[in-house]
Amino acid sequence: MRISLDTNRYTDFQRGNTVVRQVLEAAMEICVPFATVDELRAGFAGGSRGAENEKWFQLFLSRPGVRVLYPDDGTTRQYATLYQQLKAQGTPVPTNDIWIAALTLQHGVTLYSRDAHFDHIPQLPRV
């Protein structure tokens, strides 16, 4: 399985969650959307262990089979479609999570998150 990693699942992984570790170890590829990177680094900047957390994150990103997903023109079009869908449904989702969903759909990977608001995007494959 190729997965797109949400912020909360990376945090679970770093906290030693056995199930999350097993899912990540079994993945053929782990994609980390830029918005996940941004959220993690914002958290590191506000924490007392920022440098240590950044070091571990860099090690994670350098693992074989791990890559960061950045937006391009196709991503912005996917984002716009999702934004309009969620607006029409009356089910807003945080902006960063729309970016995560857009990149996940664009790259044909499966989202690994525990955020329930992704349920409002039924076309989004999830673990």
pLDDT given for residue 51 in this prediction: 92
pLDDT digits (tens, 9 = 90+) for 86-97: 999 999 999 999
pLDDT given for residue 18 in this prediction: 98
Q: What is the mean pLDDT of residues 65-85?
A: 98
pLDDT digits (tens, 9 = 90+) for 30-62: 999 999 999 999 999 988 898 999 999 999 999
Q: What is the CATH number of domain 2-120?
A: 3.40.50.1010
pLDDT digits (tens, 9 = 90+) for 9-36: 999 999 999 999 999 999 999 999 999 9
CA 19 to each of CA 8, 15, 16, 26, 113: distance values in angstroms, whole numbers, following the listed order: 13, 11, 9, 11, 13
Three-class secondary structure of residue 109 per DSSP: coil
Any idea where the domains of the chain sit in the sequence? 2-120
